[in-house]
Amino acid sequence: MENLVAARIQMGFTLGFHMLFAAFGVGFPLLMVLAEGMALRGGPAHYLKLAQIWGKANALLFAVGAVSGTALAFELGLLWPGFMLLAGSTIGAGFASEAFAFFIEAIFIGLYLYGWNRLSPLGHWLTGIPIVIGGMASAALVVSVDAWMQHPVGAASLLRTPARAAPLAMLFQNPHWPVMALHATIACLAATGFTLATVYAMGMLRGRRDEIHKAGLRIAMVLATGSAILMPLTGDMSGKAVAAFQPTKLAAMESQFRTQTAAPLRIGGLPDPKARTVNYALEIPGGLSWLAYGRSSARVVGLDHVRTADWPDVPVTHVSFQVMVGAGLLMVVIALYYWWNMRSRGGGLTRSLLGALVAGGPLAFFALETGWMVTEVGRQPWVVYGVQRTADAVTPAHDLLGYLIGYALLYLLLGTTVIWLLRRVEREAPALEEAA
Amino acid sequence: MTAGVPWPDVAWLVAVAAMTAYMLLGGADFGGGVWDLFAWGQDAALQRRAIARAMGPVWEANHVWLIFLLILLFTLFPIAFHRLVIGLYLPLNLVLLGIILRGAAFVFRAHGRRGIGPQSTWGRTFGAASSLTVVLLGASLAATSSGGDLTIAWRSWLSPFAIVTGLFALSATAYLAATYLTLEASGGLRKTFRARALLAGEAAGLAAVLGLALMPFEAPRLFLRLVAPDVLGLALLAAGLGAGSYASLRAGQDRLGRSLAAATLSVLLWSWAAAQWPYIIYPGFTVRGSAAPALAVRQVLTLVPFGLVLLLPSLWLLFHVFKGRLPIDGDAGPAR
Ligand code: HDD
Ligand code: HEM
Ligand code: HEM
């Protein structure tokens, strides 16, 4: 296998794997702090138990998040030495600030998890706050690096007069960064909220309708709903940013093969890059022009403005985008269904509602992963958009396929062990209840 | 105002400082893994428990030093970093594998109310991966000093000198960990860890002598610089501190022994850095020649003090809450 292909696959699944855990790293602390805070303010004791159970699950997820993140930090160099040679000194400013966020997160996670008997109740609750801030800050900061790869502000000076390249401005005055940071961080909150709702809804379907399950579901749905509603709004901002900075990616997302005024919005469908057509799509006339530029008559640049060799993988980008948006809209529907049910049905949780809630977690993670596929695959063949080709960044080392297989097996092992252990945490939850 | 500042040199100092922090904090956690693997005697289960308790709250924070160091390297010295990740592709992948396995194994085995336990496969994985990773880290460091071609594997990180350096790293971190553990245990367990420390100290001394004997042949420049008048003092200081640490432990002065152990390894690392100067990878890559442009270095380095303002008080809190007092029963989980 070619180095480029092997390295891309390895990077893709390491990032995809990390993302599963990182999302909880952003969302879980917020839920723990909410639950423990409610218990502190005189709420029922099962809120405290929730915080403790979630803390345990979070300990496991955080550790795997940390090791898979370490793998990423190594692999950026090991797989993409050319990229790091060009851009290491620029993106380092983002990673260095992120490292301090990691420190804060890791330190206070230690205090939180092991400090139940050493700190006062208020003191313990307070150690949760820096975890929340650290998790969100590390997500937002690492995204500054990715946003720069999408829209490399200042790259011209990096190439021509490296001595004048100023990393802080390049990373943090990039207009693409806040847009991405917002959408990507809220996505992590949505994924955590919906996944917990899935867990509690599954428990209830198996007849465990105790207070812990009800309270857990309620807190999870508060987070899930708030973030689900924000996803289409921030996603629209992301779409407009892509239209402005990466016209080729937008064209791939929408399968817009030719440059056109009043471009239609295509919903669903399977693009055929050879024939330059899209099959089975529902077309809304002028929809894309309107969404991207606010005028239904606006001109949208198509894939035809670049050589075919410079196209990203159009079917993958397009289908991933459709899946993310579709999942995002379904998530909003599920959240509204829950609150409608709680209001007008007096809170009786029907089996059909619980069934819908069970689907929420997987949908959110599908959206999260396909969203990153859109972003990363849609950027190809560039690693730094318009500046450095992915093929020029890859390592010259040998036998990449062997490493790829090795890491794939390793992640498989870690993934299955985590799931097995999490189920133990879940099953032990009643034991915790008895012990207290 | 900043025009006259030699930014690459400052960058190197910061990197060596981060390396020191990782060695003293993360290194001890590797040493904990070594003692977990080699726990023997009637109180073996207690030893493992003490190690798990000592590491539990702090290991993730200690681990971040490695990430920080890695980031500093590719940010401040992208040219040398480029050489390292290509030349040491295999050992660095193995280091990564070891780090993934030990981190995951450490939480996996500790998990659940009736944990899987230290004797499980994950327990052994934690110990074995920790031990192998330290050896590889030591060997990789030696490879940057020996002047061999990094791309010829057996010439650089598999040379006798590199392997002895790796074994030195293994015994030194084990020594460090055991001296820390004496202060986290009482009674018989404390005696056990003291005996372990002495054993590791002897092994480290032996490896050091062997390494010194190989150095003139395998890392001649490093050797010449190490015995040059401007570096020799530092190296002798490290040796003296090491002997002092060992003697204090012998005399039952655990607290002094631990402080001197940390001082020994720090001064030793600094002697290496001084002897290695002006190179980052010998030959071919000097600190000044492989640094990022001054503006980039300056911008990243100005972030560091701001970060430290947040980091240092938090670290103090962490160690204040968990260290210096014996562990409480139930530390690993909620009991209120
Ligand atoms: C829970 C997850 C989730 C949900 C429900 C959505 N997204 Fe999303 N989306 C992500 C999770 C995500 C992501 C994985 O987090 C990405 C990848 C990069 C980024 O910034 O966020 C992303 C990227 C991303 C991009 C590409 C940005 C780029 O390449 O720079 C666009 C245009 C959208 N999204 C648009 C939407 C729209 C219109 C949604 C309407 C429902 C939507 N997203 C829901
Ligand atoms: C965490 C969410 C992310 C996911 C799931 C993700 C996913 C992916 C995928 C699927 C690829 C392979 C794409 C392809 O080759 O076609 C990739 C490539 C890559 N990503 Fe990301 N990515 C994420 C975030 C980031 C961030 C924040 C950075 C920046 C630090 C980054 C840097 C890279 C690099 C350097 C490559 C390799 C070069 C390339 O193939 O373009 N990614 N990522
Ligand atoms: C948008 C994408 C990303 C998000 C949201 C994210 C978020 C996080 C979070 C919240 C953590 C804390 C651990 C946890 O809770 O699981 C974490 C850990 C980590 N991440 Fe990521 N990350 C992303 C991408 C990356 C990339 C691209 C890299 C490296 C190139 C990276 C490197 C790391 C490292 C080294 C850690 C371990 C830190 C520790 O030991 O505490 N992450 N990440």
B149 touches chain A (CB under 8 A): no
Contact residues, chain B, for A400 at CB < 8 Å: none
In chain A, the largest separation of any two C-alpha atoms, in whole Å, equals 68
What is the pLDDT averaged over residues B1-14? 83
State the Cα–Cα distance between residues B9 and B287, nearest whole angstrom.
7
In this structure, is residue B160 part of a structural domain?
yes
In this structure, is residue B184 part of a structural domain?
yes
For residue B154, what pLDDT is reported? 56
pLDDT confidence of B333, banded at 50, 70, 90?
very low
In this structure, is residue B276 part of a structural domain?
no
Q: Are A370 and A187 in contact (CB under 8 A)?
A: no
For residue A436, what pLDDT is reported? 35
Report in angstroms the alpha-carbon separations of A361 from A200, A227, A320, B331.
11, 13, 17, 32
* CA atoms A230, A236, A241, A242: torsion sign: positive
For residue A200, what pLDDT is reported? 93
Tell if the CB–CB gap between B332 and A69 is shorter than 8 Å: no
State the Cα–Cα distance between residues A83 and A395, nearest whole angstrom.
10
For residue A434, what pLDDT is reported? 42
First to last CA, chain B: 56
Q: Kindly give the number of the ligand 2 atom that is closest to the alpha carbon of A95.
A: 30
Q: What count of other Cβ atoms lies within 10 Å of the Cβ of residue B7?
A: 20
Look up the domain containing B78 and give its range: 7-212+288-323
In this structure, is residue B227 part of a structural domain?
no
Tell if the CB–CB gap between A110 and B296 is shorter than 8 Å: no
Task: Tell me the CA–centroid distance for residue A69 and ligand 3, in Å.
Answer: 5
Amino acid identity at B69: L
Contact residues, chain B, for A93 at CB < 8 Å: 75, 296, 299-300, 303
What is the pLDDT averaged over residues B197-205? 97
Task: Tell me the CA–centroid distance for residue A211 and ligand 3, in Å.
Answer: 34
B212 touches chain A (CB under 8 A): no
Q: Are A240 and A232 in contact (CB under 8 A)?
A: no
For A397, nearest residue in chain B (alpha carbons):
B86
Q: Are B255 and B183 in contact (CB under 8 A)?
A: yes
In this structure, is residue B271 part of a structural domain?
no
**Residue A42 in tokens:** 């005189």
Q: Kindly give the number of the ligand 3 atom that is closest to the alpha carbon of A134.
A: 10
Contact residues, chain A, for B92 at CB < 8 Å: 74, 78
In this structure, is residue B63 part of a structural domain?
yes
Share of chain B above pLDDT 70, in %: 90
* CA atoms A159, A161, A166, A170: torsion sign: negative
Amino acid identity at B110: A
State the Cα–Cα distance between residues A24 and A31, nearest whole angstrom.
10
Residue B77, C-beta contacts closer than 8 angstroms, at least 6 positions apart: B11, B15, B280, B287, B290, B291, B292
Task: Tell me the CA–centroid distance for residue A394 and ligand 2, in Å.
Answer: 13
Residue A178, C-beta contacts closer than 8 angstroms, at least 6 positions apart: none
**Residue A348 in tokens:** 């009786």
Residue B14, C-beta contacts closer than 8 angstroms, at least 6 positions apart: B72, B76, B301, B304
Residue A265, C-beta contacts closer than 8 angstroms, at least 6 positions apart: A254, A283, A284, A287, A288, A290, A291
**Residue B196 in tokens:** 């372990």
For residue A42, what pLDDT is reported? 83
For residue A198, what pLDDT is reported? 95
Cα–Cα–Cα angle for A232, A299, A178, rounded to 5 degrees: 35
B129, B118, B62, B23: CA torsion to nearest 10: -50
- Containing A203, the helix (H) or strand (E) segment is helix A176-205
Amino acid identity at A333: V
Q: Which of A114, A164, A171, A419 to mutate to test the interface with B (most CBs of B within 10 A)?
A: A114
- Return the SS3 of B168: helix
Contact residues, chain B, for A84 at CB < 8 Å: 74, 78, 81-82, 85
Place of tokens 């700190």: A119
Place of tokens 């207070």: A211
In this structure, is residue B112 part of a structural domain?
yes
Show the low-confidence residues of chain A (pLDDT under 70).
1, 346-347, 428-436
What is the pLDDT averaged over residues B254-265? 95
Number of domains comprising chain B: 1
Question: What is the value of ipTM here, to two decimals?
Answer: 0.90
State the Cα–Cα distance between residues A296 and A291, nearest whole angstrom.
8
State the Cα–Cα distance between residues A158 and B295, nearest whole angstrom.
11
Does ligand 2 come within 6 angstroms of the Cβ of A390? yes
Mean predicted lDDT score pLDDT of chain B: 89
A423-432, B30-39, B54-63 — which is least confidently predicted? A423-432
| Spatial CA neighbour of A193 closest among A331, A55, A64 | A331
**Residue B98 in tokens:** 């070891």
For residue B324, what pLDDT is reported? 66
* CA atoms B45, B51, B53, B55: torsion sign: negative
**Residue B50 in tokens:** 């003490």
A262, A266, A271, A272: CA torsion to nearest 10: -40
Report in angstroms the alpha-carbon separations of B317 from A202, B21, B32, B113, B321.
40, 17, 22, 27, 6
The string of DSSP codes covering B72-103 is HHHHH-HHHHHHHHHHTHHHHHHHHHHHHHHH
Q: So where are chain A's domains? A: 3-243+379-435
For residue A132, what pLDDT is reported? 96
Residue B248, C-beta contacts closer than 8 angstroms, at least 6 positions apart: B254, B256, B257, B260
For A424, nearest residue in chain B (alpha carbons):
B112
The string of DSSP codes covering A205-252 is HTT---HHHHHHHHHHHHHHHHHHHHHHHHHHHHHHHHHHH-HHHHHH
pTM of model > 0.90: yes
Q: Which protein residues touch ligand 1 with a CB less than 6 Å away?
A: A 150, 180, 183-184, 187, 190-191, 231-232, 235-236, 238-239, 242, 324-325, 327-329, 331, 364, 367-368, 371-372, 374-375, 378
Q: Are B161 and B218 in contact (CB under 8 A)?
A: yes
Q: Are A56 and A217 in contact (CB under 8 A)?
A: no
pLDDT digits (tens, 9 = 90+) for A92-143: 999 999 999 999 999 999 999 999 889 999 999 999 999 999 999 999 999 9
